[in-house]
Amino acid sequence: MKRSTFLKMTALAGTAFTVLPSSSVFGHPSGRLRIGFIGTGLRGQELLRLSLMRDDTEVTCICDIQEVMLNSALRLFEKAGKPSPKIYTGNDYAYREMLEKEDIDAVIIATPWEWHYPMAMDAMDAGKHVGCEVMMGTTVDEHWNIVHKTRETGLQYMMLENVCYRRDVMAVLQMVRQGLFGELIHLQGGYQHDLREVKFNNGQQPYGGGVEFGEKGFSEARWRTQHSVTRNGDLYPTHGIGPLSKMLNIHAGNRFTSLVSMASKARGLHEYIVEHGGADHPNAKVEFKLGDVVTTMIRTAGGETVLLQHDTSLPRPYSLGFRVQGTKGLWMDLNESLHIEGLTKPHRWEEAKAWLEKFDHPLWQRYGNDAKGAGHGGMDFFVIHAFLEAIKRGEPTPISVYDSAAWSVITPLSEWSVANNSNSIEFPDFTQGGWKTGKQIFANSDDY
């Protein structure tokens, strides 16, 4: 079907931008969802482990180019008592063979950022739904292409943004929905995480022990660090914007309209290399383009403002820096406190703990035990659960392709603004107007 025809049809159907998959897997002989994994590095292994725990899902094939990672992945199948998958490996494009040969409903992609786009496009061309680790693409055009591809194929693309499912964040979402903060006004989030021992290691261990990256690095240092060499902007916006987006009802009556970013100078990574590898280490000559702290401001059609911060190259405690503020009060995660007019003392903070427990999300109440031991404090369980449930049932994923695109495109927009003296850039409307009538389907129940 031509894209234009498809758009017309969906518009006529009154579901201007919600692509409904054409069928669910309940018709399969096995009754189970069949999926493949592209990328079984450390991140892929955690998503794999959670998928293998499920009775409704069969992981029939996996693909990676590193033997050590494939072997670790295979051990997860053994441990889970699940049949060994078909393995695809040998070259960067082995995944294409897997997509061509395997009868699977969906793929989960957990590869370096720059591979997400071609792999997702290829997967959808092969008729597979896509659950992809965060960051959709590198350029604005790539984000549009993914969106168009879902509309052309009727397939779903969900970015596996796990922080949307963080327990405290979901409790705050409940409080937002019940109006405790009044009308939302200003929100903050970000990614403030000292990644220096992720960006550099000794080529054998994933974290630290050396100042190598790229070919000589291991795990994320093999690919992630290079982005700090060549790019300057908010390289990792989704952990902050994802949850805030759901509170703001983005694409359910609201959308992001414009963005500005400002970057500080770059010092942290160079200093780390000099300190831990010496001034004569070859990497001490590398010039890192990524500013140590990059701050981004986004405005919405609803008139709210969102502040995002990216801070991964300096010594600091981990903090996503959430702030959710409305006409009746605000919550901040840094001091784990909130203030709600009429319910807490005037002009005073109150510890958030009891409130977060009181407004614990039904999903966490139902699945909190299952999530125990899952990565990142349990939230990885929920994001995989949501993707697999939605695909299995043939229902829209709670994080849509439009959400995924809008969250991930912040990076290229931010790069543009930083490169253009922090001038303002318009936010693309991937829904092409559909945001006005879109319905909120994220975490509305204890289902998924």
Interacting residues with a second copy (CB under 8 A): 182-183, 185-186, 194, 258, 260, 262-265, 267-268, 271, 291-293, 295, 297, 299, 302-305, 307, 311, 314-318, 325-330, 332, 334-335, 339-341, 346-349, 421-424
d(CA 228, CA 254): 32
Closer residue to a second copy (CB): 52 or 286: 286
* Coil, strand or helix at 146: helix
Residue showing tokens 């199948």: 77
Residue 2 vs 348, nearer CB to a second copy: 348
Strands (DSSP E) contained in 78-128 are 86-88, 106-109
- Residue 315's CB is within 10 A of a number of other CB atoms, namely 9
* Beta strands 129-132; 323-326: pairing state: unpaired
How does DSSP assign 166-204, residue by residue?
-HHHHHHHHHHHTTTT-SEEEEEEEEE---HHHH-B-SS
CB of 409 vs a second copy, minimal distance in Å: 18
On the CB side of 162, CA atoms within 13 Å amount to: 17
Residues present in the chain in total: 448
**Minimum gap (Å) between residue 339 Cβ and a second copy:** 5
Number of C-beta neighbours around residue 119 at 10 A: 22
From the CB of 259, what's the least distance to a second copy, in Å?
Answer: 9
Evaluate whether 295 touches 262 at the Cβ level (below 8 Å).
yes
CB of 303 to a second copy, least distance (A): 3
Comparing CB distances to a second copy, the nearer of 147 and 409 is: 409
CB of 260 to a second copy, least distance (A): 5
Nearest distance, CB of residue 300 and a second copy, angstroms: 9
In the complex, the smallest distance separating the C-beta of residue 211 from a second copy, rounded to whole angstroms, is 16
- Residue number with CB closer to a second copy (210 or 291): 291
Compute the C-alpha angle 291/429/298, nearest 5°.
40
Taking the complex as a whole, how short is the minimal distance between the CB of residue 168 and a second copy, in angstroms?
15
Closer CB to a second copy, residue 196 or residue 392? 196
Phi, psi of 260 (to 5 degrees): -135, 145
Q: Which is nearer to a second copy, 80 or 314 (CB)?
A: 314
Cβ partners under 8 Å of residue 361, min gap 6: 167, 170, 171, 173, 174, 443
User: Which DSSP letter does residue 328 get?
Assistant: T
Q: Which is nearer to a second copy, 356 or 363 (CB)?
A: 356
Of 168 and 389, nearer to a second copy (C-beta) is 168
Min dist CB 181 to a second copy, Å, is: 10
Element (H, E) at 418: helix 410-419
Nearer CB in complex with a second copy: 104/324: 324
CA-based nearest residue to 378, from 75, 170, 225, 235: 170
Structure tokens at 319: 């903090």
Tell me the closest approach of the beta carbon of residue 92 to a second copy, in angstroms: 35
Report how far apart the first and last C-alpha atoms of the chain are (Å, whole number).
31
Q: Which is nearer to a second copy, 104 or 198 (CB)?
A: 198
Q: Angle 238-247/167-177 helices, nearest 10 degrees?
A: 30
